[in-house]
Amino acid sequence: MMRKTNWPLWLAPVICVFALISYPLLFVNWAATRDFPWANIALFVIADLFLVLGIRRAFAPGRRWFSKIVASVIAAISALLFAAFIFVAFVAARWLPPSTRAPQVSQKAPEFTLKDTSDKPVALAELLSQPVNSRPARGVLLIFYRGYW
């Protein structure tokens, strides 16, 4: 007897994988979807809806025991992916060094000299004294970035 593929069941882990990887690869690029990853959480919720649908189908009367095992395994994998996302986005992301000696507001910014993109050494003092649009610079915004977002 041929049975229809339980497509909601198979769709759930696919959406879960996308929900997990789309945060660093896509949604982190916009502040609105980055500062709180609601888009990714919404994707996981959608995946869970498909999962519930798929599990109900798998456990419907007349289904083989095998489909129930497959459904249980897929449910476990989907839950694991969601847990991995929560861990990466909210737990591991907060494991940062204390940076107690980082310059505070109203302290002097430590001087440094680094190479620019044409290998020319540039000092912070130079940037502060260099005119911008032929007017004296009002200041410098110093950005230490990590990852390209």
Partner 1 sequence: MDTPEESRDLCRKAGYTFTFLSDSNLDAIRRYDLVHAGQGTGGRDIARPAEFLIDSSGIVRWRMLTENYWVRARPEQILEAAKTLP
List of residues contacting partner 1 (CB under 8 A): 23, 28, 31, 34-35, 37, 89-90, 93-94, 96-97, 99-112, 114-119, 122, 124-125, 127-129, 136-146, 148-149
Segment (H or E) for 82: helix 65-86
The CB-of-115 to partner 1 minimum distance in angstroms stands at: 5
The CB-of-137 to partner 1 minimum distance in angstroms stands at: 6
- How far is the C-alpha of 147 from the C-alpha of 78, rounded, in Å? 27
Residue among 65 and 148 whose Cβ is closer to partner 1 = 148
Residue among 14 and 132 whose Cβ is closer to partner 1 = 132
133: three-class secondary structure by DSSP: coil
Q: Please list, residue by residue across 98-131, b when 16 or more beta carbons sit within 10 angstroms of its beta carbon and e when fewer do.
A: eeeeeeeeeeeeeeeeeeeeeeeeeeeeeeeeee
Residue among 4 and 120 whose Cβ is closer to partner 1 = 120
Residue among 72 and 129 whose Cβ is closer to partner 1 = 129
The CB-of-123 to partner 1 minimum distance in angstroms stands at: 10
Which residue from 6, 10, 34, 14 is spatially nearest to 81, judged by alpha carbons? 14
Half-sphere exposure of 37 toward its Cβ, with a 13 Å CA cutoff? 24
The CB-of-143 to partner 1 minimum distance in angstroms stands at: 5
- How far is the C-alpha of 122 from the C-alpha of 7, rounded, in Å? 59
Residue among 18 and 49 whose Cβ is closer to partner 1 = 18
The CB-of-21 to partner 1 minimum distance in angstroms stands at: 14
